[in-house]
Structure 1
Amino acid sequence: MLHYAAVFLVIALVAALLGFGGIAAGAAEIGKILFYIFLVIALVSLVVGLLRR
């Protein structure tokens, strides 16, 4: 999941450099959403792992 967020970040940067503002904004938004989903899943996994001890 974090890999896909990084890919969308790179797509957004390239699109912004080439002047495609709408595509860059969309890709950046998708990247942010994927990053936040990754954070939630990582925190849930951490808490579940600590509770199993």
Structure 2
Amino acid sequence: MLGWALTFFIIAIIAAVFGFGGIAGAATGIAKIIFFIFIVLLVLSLISNALRGKSPKI
């Protein structure tokens, strides 16, 4: 999911360089939404693993 956010961020940067403001704004908005979903899922995963008492496998 973080990869998708980075992909949309790169699309936004490229669109901004070429002057496509609408596409750049939309791609930035999508990247923000996906990034925040990633952060929420990461926190939920860390909390659930801490409550179960399992140590992370490396």
TM exceeds 0.5?
Answer: yes
Q: State the identity %.
A: 49
Q: Which amino acid aligns with 1:48?
A: S
Alignment of 1:13-28 (within 5 A): 13-28=13-28
Letter in 1 for 2:32: K
Residue type of the alignment partner of 1:51: L
- The 5-angstrom pairing of residues 37-48 of structure 1 reads 37-48=37-48
Gaps of 5+ in 2: 54-58
* TM-score scaled by length of structure 2: 0.91
TM-score by length of 1: 0.99
More helix by share: 1
Which one scores higher on RCO, CA 8 angstroms, separation ≥ 6? 1
**Structure with greater Cα Rg:** 2
Aligned-partner Cα distance in 2 for 1:33–1:2 = 11
Measure the CA separation in 2 of the matches of 1:47 and 1:19: 43
RMSD of equivalent CA atoms: 0.2
Cα distance in 2, alignment partners of residues 21 and 3 from structure 1: 23
Aligned residues: 53
